[in-house]
Amino acid sequence: MKRFLPYLKYMRGRRTYLVLALLCGAISGLVFGRGLPVVINEVFPRIFTDGPRTLPALQVVGYAMLIPLIFFVRALAGFLNNYLMSHCGIGVLEALRVDLYRKLQSLPLSYFGKNRSGDLLSRLTADTLVVQQTITTSASDLVIQPLTLLGAFSFLATIALRHNGVALFLGSLAIIPVCVFPVRFVGKKIVKRADENQRLLGDISDLANQNLMGAREVRAFGLEEKEVDTFQRTTRRLFRVQMKVVKYSQMLSPAIEFIASLGIAFSLYYAYRAEISLAVFTSILTALFACYEPVKKLGALHGQFARGAASLNRIEEILLEPVTITDPPKPAAIPARLRGDLTFDRVGFAYQPGEPVLRHVTAAIPAGTVCALVGPSGAGKTTFANLVPRFYEATSGRVAIDGIDVRAMRLADLRRNIAVVSQDPVLFNDTVYQNLLVGRAGATPEEVMAAAVDAYADDFIRTLPQGYETIVGERGALLSGGQKQRLALARAFLRNAPILILDEATSALDSQSEQFVQEALRKLVVGKTVLIIAHRFSTIRDASMILVFERGEIIATGTHGELYPSNALYRSLYDRQYLSA
């Protein structure tokens, strides 16, 4: 239970609901544990006498109605307890998911490279639900069940004192500690399986996510049966684990009921020897039943805690993950718009310790320079560009803009001055207009449309069914590659940042789309510091600066005219592509 105490903070805004829920639970527990045995003990002897039954019918009806009254009060209190606790629980779930989602927004891109998106999605949905159920169930049952036991205990103690049946009282309750053994046994078994169960749920979520995201590739390569087979094998493993959890969970109730029946058998024998009346014995049985039922539920709660702890471990892997890229304690004061002078001073970076991707990279890129980054795959070009907006943090050295270390700036101030156009731009499942507003949230409709015109996107947008209000589908699935790329450029026009990062924005386009994009790029780069991560040399020949990368180092700097005759790597890369063309 201690593991979950810090998360009770999510109930702070719902204290009134929680208090009322626990009060209703207390009423339900006491009415059942104490009220029903008392009614049976006090009323039955008055109705079922050995002599003539002379009670007026109306009085008998009144006595009889006490039983449904007790059950009505218990039912009403139980309903209110469940309803109010559900209100608290759903609120806890909402707050927990929002906190988890907020934490995911602050983690560096390197974290997502090491963790599968489907598994993270499972933690955000399935694991948070299990934790919410654990918190609310425990908060309710840890009040209701002990009070039910207390009510039943107090009645048994009263009967024992009234009828000199101390041995009956102690003997009846002696069985309850024995119930602890199956509870502990089952709890240990469930703990072992609960973590595996949640991990497999994450695997299934990840498999489904990959399949849906790669639907075209699956069909293109005829992988349908292979995908189904992989998914089926994983769900089969999950089935086996879940059945083991069910086996141990369902084993608990029959075990406790059998142990409880031994206590009832002892009570029956002792009641006969002590010449206790049927009415008194019936009330004792009712009280014993009221004792053993909470024991069963508290035992089940132990299993719930085990499952909740497994899910909490997976959630805390995210919540407790250190945020390595943050705002500095005292951010540097920077102008609303930076000039765009870029400086890399002996910069090193590694995704994994001991495996450097950049080694002591030094470069100075003046404001307004169109700088192309050239080199074989894995040479460090993309990593070099990603250090500017602090998507990753340099492990050594310094990256500066206008002489200010990027680590000294607020992330919002830094990234407001940078626009990124990637090779495969991501569009959200929203309207064209809302997707363009990603570039600058406060832009006016006129500014949005002007950016679309500059990106040669306005014409095709107006041919869409609802124009700017057309839903583009998940990741822009309803648009062509060229259309998505032009929308990404329109975002960059709208942002109008002094620094622009282009990750081979034309490599996957047909000739007509490439022509539109190239025309847009010529307008977009004017007056900006531009980093072009390029594989197609047709896009970089006119760059004012070219940096040649090899194995994480810059081995040459210059223009195309300077590098072609002087640098063998650059010349070989250019000739290979030129001859291929």
pLDDT score for 384: 94
pLDDT score for 346: 95
Q: Which domains are assigned to the chain?
A: 2-319 (1.20.1560.10), 342-580 (3.40.50.300)
- Amino acid type, 376: P
188 has pLDDT over 70: no
pLDDT per residue as tens digits for the range 279-300:
677 777 777 776 767 776 776 6
pLDDT per residue as tens digits for the range 495-545:
889 999 988 765 555 566 667 777 777 788 888 899 988 766 666 766 889
Alpha-carbon distances of 567 from 351, 384, 547, rounded to whole Å = 29, 21, 11
Question: Can you tell me whether residue 551 is helix, strand or coil?
Answer: coil
Residue in 421, 375, 417 with CA at minimum distance from that of residue 400 = 417
Stretch 234-248: mean pLDDT, rounded?
Answer: 81
The DSSP bridge pattern shows strands 529-533 and 499-503 to be: parallel
pLDDT score for 221: 67
Q: Are 473 and 467 in contact (CB under 8 A)?
A: no
pLDDT score for 216: 66
Q: Are 134 and 307 in contact (CB under 8 A)?
A: yes
Angle at 386 between CA 383 and CA 387, to 5 degrees: 90
pLDDT per residue as tens digits for the range 330-340:
999 888 889 99
Residue in 416, 388, 541, 419 with CA at minimum distance from that of residue 489 = 419
269 has pLDDT over 80: no
- Using pLDDT thresholds of 50, 70 and 90, give the confidence band for residue 171: low
pLDDT score for 469: 92
pLDDT score for 536: 67
pLDDT score for 344: 95
Residue in 535, 552, 503 with CA at minimum distance from that of residue 362 = 552
pLDDT score for 477: 80
pLDDT score for 361: 94
Average per-residue pLDDT for the chain: 80
Angle at 273 between CA 272 and CA 276, to 5 degrees: 55
pLDDT score for 53: 64
249 vs 302: CA distance, rounded Å: 10
203 has pLDDT over 90: no
Q: Are 109 and 386 in contact (CB under 8 A)?
A: yes
| Least confident among 271-280, 418-427, 539-548 | 271-280
Stretch 44-55: mean pLDDT, rounded?
Answer: 67
pLDDT score for 163: 63
Q: What share of the chain is helix, strand, coil (3-state, %, to 5)?
A: 65, 10, 25
pLDDT score for 245: 75
